[in-house]
Structure 1
Amino acid sequence: MNFIITFVTFGIIFALIDAVWLKTSNALYKKELGSLIREKPDFVAAIIFYVIYVAGVSLFTITPVLDRSGSWLDVLLLAGMFGLVAYATYDLTNQATLKGWSKKIVVIDLVWGMAATAVSATVSYLLITNVFGV
């Protein structure tokens, strides 16, 4: 049951935070990546990413801390590292294999992935423990 509550809570919070980021950073990504950016996103691929990512963060960072009665600091650190690893996998692979992939975007994405995941997971943990009583 913890996993389902965690999945839904983190999924909503992360989606909201990431939507704000994607909206506000759109011009930067277009400027830095130019023709690599699609005019319209592939929403099927995006949904698959979000389901996998939310499941991963829920399974490997928040739920284990809930199960062992850890603290919000544990979630902050674990989720931050998870975000860094996931976003580094994407960005550094693109840097290694695609012509024109921006180093500036790599740095921005790594910081964003780490921060957005850490903050979203920590807020989720605090809601789950203080509001839902898990």
Structure 2
Amino acid sequence: MKLYVILAVGLTILALDAVWLTFRAGYHSALFKSVQGSPLIIRGFPAALVYVLIPVAIGYLVLDHVKTIQEAGIRGAALGAAMYGLYDLTNYATLTKWTLEMTITDILWGTFVCSAGSMAGLLVSKRV
């Protein structure tokens, strides 16, 4: 997998997440404060690792195995649903104040953003 493809996936996901998290900032802040009893404080290094690990996973688990944009979208969506589902369903199962709304919304978001990132990565790999 070429580094520029991984970067394209990462930048796509980062850009979409920036818009989404800005739009949902109030909800997320209130939820995390309720769950942990203190305001949300982002730890930069682990957060940055997420934006490395997800594109690498998409590169090796999706893009190395597809030829069409449709395949990339579907496989990316499946990977996103699995990754975000694991996180959100674990939180919903173990954190009493974690909401069903957050669980469903975040899984759907992860499904979308990983699908979009996968399609962007495939488009870049075919054009460069």
TM-score where L is the length of structure 2: 0.89
State the Cα deviation string for residues 46-99 of structure 1 (Å, max 9, x = none): 11222111111111011222xxxx111110010000000000000000011112
Regions of 4+ moved over 4 Å: none
**1:21-100 alignment to 2 at 5 Å?**
21-36=20-35, 38-65=39-66, 70-100=67-97
Instruction: Name the Cα RMSD after superposition.
Output: 1.6
Aligned to 1:9: 8
List runs of 5+ in structure 2 lacking aligned partners.
Answer: none
**Separation of aligned partners in 1, 2:21 and 2:65:** 29
Q: Secondary structure at the match of 2:89?
A: helix
| 1:102 pairs with 2:125 | no
Residue 12 of structure 1 and its aligned partner are, at CA, apart by 1.2
List runs of 5+ in structure 1 lacking aligned partners.
Answer: none
**Separation of aligned partners in 2, 1:36 and 1:45:** 19
- Between 1:5-14 and 1:89-98, the stretch displaced more is 5-14
**Separation of aligned partners in 1, 2:105 and 2:49:** 23
Q: Secondary structure at the match of 2:96?
A: coil
The one-letter code sitting in structure 2 at the alignment partner of 1:31 is: A
Identical positions, percent: 21
- Between 1:50-59 and 1:109-118, the stretch displaced more is 50-59
State the Cα deviation string for residues 84-122 of structure 1 (Å, max 9, x = none): 000000000001111200100001001100011101211
State the Cα deviation string for residues 19-41 of structure 1 (Å, max 9, x = none): 11111111122334433364321
Aligned to 1:117: 114
Counterpart contact for 2:6–2:121, Cα < 8 Å:
no
Counterpart contact for 1:75–1:122, Cα < 8 Å:
yes
TM-score where L is the length of structure 1: 0.85
